[in-house]
Chains A and B, each alone.
Chain A
Amino acid sequence: MRREEGKEYLYITLHTELPYQYSAGRYMSRFLTTLRDEAKILASRCTQCGTVLVPPRVVCGNCFAEMKDFVEVGPRGTLKTFSVINFPFIDPFTGVQRPVPYGYAIVQLDGCDNWLPHFLDEIDVQKLRIGLRVEAVFKPREEREGAMTDILHFRVIGDRSRESSPEGEVS
């Protein structure tokens, strides 16, 4: 109920619980099971223009041609742009507020032509800049379930020149 200018205007509140099941399809299922079983990121390559896209999909949007080949990309890549999300909102994944702040990474995985969004483990913008090297951090095998959340987040590993240092090694 809401009162304005002495008038009474009503609101009817509905909390809707409406479960959905989204089919991943052939290519996305292979992408997700490979994440789960091997902790590897798969992309598809266009048979016509050679473009490599993640997540893999049947059709190359530029060529309208079938993407028949799967290739492994990452797990390292380059931070192409980022944000740190501070404002509260309801997450349609969970129905409750998404925890903020969180780092939002847009990563070009090594060997890939397009970019992949994921969480970033760093939320101090002073420590972030476009061009930093990052790598995917996977959940332990027993916790992986065949979902994008099998990648926990991307972590910053610094500049390309420092990449061979011990802290930059894939654990």
Chain B
Amino acid sequence: MPKSVAIIGSGQTNHTSRRADVNIPELIKEAVDRALADADLTIDDIDAVVIGNMEHFEGINLSDMWASEGSGAVMKPAMKIATGGTTGASVAACAYYHCASGLFDRVLAIGWEKLSESDTTTGIITAFDPIVERLTLAGAVGGLAIEANLYMTSYGITQEQVAKAAVMARKNAQRNPHAHLKLDLTVEQVLHSPMIAYPIHYLDMCPTSDGACAVIFASEDVARKSAHPPAWVKAAVCRHNHPYIGDVDWRKNTLESAAIEAYRLAGITNPRRELDVIELYDPASFALLSWIESLHICGPGEGGKMIDAGAITMEGDIPVNPSGGVISTNPIGATALIRVAEAALQIQGKADARQVEGVRTALATGFGGSYWSEVFILGRTP
């Protein structure tokens, strides 16, 4: 049986388009210092380090070696995880496994990226099959555009409904000091922004950011003695997929499969009622509508109605992405770990201006690769 595990602290940089003032280890150290301070720990208290980014974005293959001084990994057990957009959630899952195994008491999970240092779309293309798919794939934008088109066409979701989600996310980001794009937008501005890949407008898409996030996982005994209320891991579920985009079965997606298993593990039978907040990996605004359907927050094709009714806003019954989400902030290797960190802050009551009142159960997701998924459920009790 796995042992109970909790998150006892987290830290983030203030994410932005370009951090010329720091190199990679310096950027990482900012997030690590903030996480240690948040948990009232020093690096000596950390038993192991798990770190992740995607090598192709910076062109540094042993990125964990290059980062080891900033990550605090010198003379500690450490490993690197790289799973595309899901990297940060995979890092979190690995840190969770480390603690749940009973082998480690305090594990530092780090995700980072400095996307300003090369062309992000080019980097993403190199993650895909070199013989068949690189020829035509236009990175995440192209891959998401075909899913958005399929989703919107299948259910009659309008451009306006999708744009509303983009406006909501950037409005939420204004309450988050770590967010990159804190934009005050209108639906018209989104609809009149350039169509970068039909049906995705420029303002529907996530930015490319420089940033890092660090989260400290602890074993049950340590977490119970923590100075701050911990956020307990109720479920951490991963689903990978077939390799080719053309193989993906859109009716049987990995996010839905992971969510069903996570709900089973956490004993959740009515996710809309039992979840208090969601931190969704939303790489483009349509995902805020489509992927809450995969999470069974509403029925298939009802995402448009959810945004029209205001159900997923800060004032709604199931707020999604109080942080502003991925379409406001996207240092890719950190992005999914930020979802987990933000969900933990909501449980801990430490989300400041973006705090949803009375959060007892929170869900975080990661998205990456050939549409694969991670789902975390966090709670106030083990």
- Assess whether B21 is in contact with A9, with CB atoms less than 8 Å apart: yes
Task: Determine the chain B residues whose CB is within 8 A of the CB of A7 once the complex forms.
Answer: 21
**Least Cβ distance of B243 to chain A in Å?**
8
What is the 8 Å Cβ interface bit string for chain B, positions 109-129, against chain A (1 contact, 0 not)? 000000000010110011000
User: Of B33-41, B69-77, B142-150, B307-315, which stretch is located at the interface?
Assistant: B142-150
A54 to B244 CA separation, bound complex (whole angstroms): 9
**Least Cβ distance of B41 to chain A in Å?**
31
A129 to B198 CA separation, bound complex (whole angstroms): 12
For chain B, residues 43 to 68, give those with C-beta under 8 angstroms from any C-beta of chain A.
Answer: 59
Residue of A32, A87, A106, A149 contacting most chain B CB atoms (<10 Å) = A87
For chain A, residues 127 to 143, give those with C-beta under 8 angstroms from any C-beta of chain B.
Answer: 129-130
A93 to B128 CA separation, bound complex (whole angstroms): 12
Residue of A2, A11, A84 contacting most chain B CB atoms (<10 Å) = A84
Contact sample, A vs B, 13 pairs, CB 8 Å cutoff: A2-B20, A22-B130, A81-B146, A81-B149, A82-B146, A82-B198, A83-B200, A85-B138, A89-B138, A92-B134, A106-B146, A117-B132, A130-B153
Q: Quick check: is B191 within 8 A (CB to CB) of the other chain?
A: no
Task: Determine the chain A residues whose CB is within 8 A of the CB of B59 once the complex forms.
Answer: 14, 16
**Which of B134, B141, B196, B198 touches A93 (beta carbons < 8 Å)?**
B134
A106 to B200 CA separation, bound complex (whole angstroms): 17
**Which of B20, B21, B137, B246 touches A115 (beta carbons < 8 Å)?**
B246
**Which of A4, A16, A80, A117 touches B150 (beta carbons < 8 Å)?**
A80
Task: Determine the chain B residues whose CB is within 8 A of the CB of A82 once the complex forms.
Answer: 146, 149, 198
- Say yes or no: A89-B20 contact (C-beta < 8 A), given A81-B147, A81-B150, A125-B198: no
- Assess whether B142 is in contact with A83, with CB atoms less than 8 Å apart: yes
Closest 4 pairs (CB-CB, A-B): A83-B145, A115-B246, A89-B121, A9-B20
A81 to B367 CA separation, bound complex (whole angstroms): 20
Residue of B125, B145, B198 contacting most chain A CB atoms (<10 Å) = B198
- Assess whether B136 is in contact with A86, with CB atoms less than 8 Å apart: no
Q: Quick check: is A170 within 8 A (CB to CB) of the other chain?
A: no
Residue of A83, A102, A148 contacting most chain B CB atoms (<10 Å) = A83
A4 to B17 CA separation, bound complex (whole angstroms): 14
What is the 8 Å Cβ interface bit string for chain B, positions 231-251, against chain A (1 contact, 0 not)? 000000000001111110000
For chain A, residues 103 to 161, give those with C-beta under 8 angstroms from any C-beta of chain B.
Answer: 104, 106, 114-119, 125, 129-130, 147-149
**Least Cβ distance of B284 to chain A in Å?**
12
A20 to B126 CA separation, bound complex (whole angstroms): 12
Q: Quick check: is B316 within 8 A (CB to CB) of the other chain?
A: no
- Say yes or no: A117-B21 contact (C-beta < 8 A), given A83-B149, A87-B196: no
**Least Cβ distance of B18 to chain A in Å?**
8
Task: Determine the chain B residues whose CB is within 8 A of the CB of A11 once the complex forms.
Answer: 20
For chain B, residues 192 to 206, give those with C-beta under 8 angstroms from any C-beta of chain A.
Answer: 194-200, 202
Q: Quick check: is B319 within 8 A (CB to CB) of the other chain?
A: no
- Assess whether A117 is in contact with B137, with CB atoms less than 8 Å apart: yes
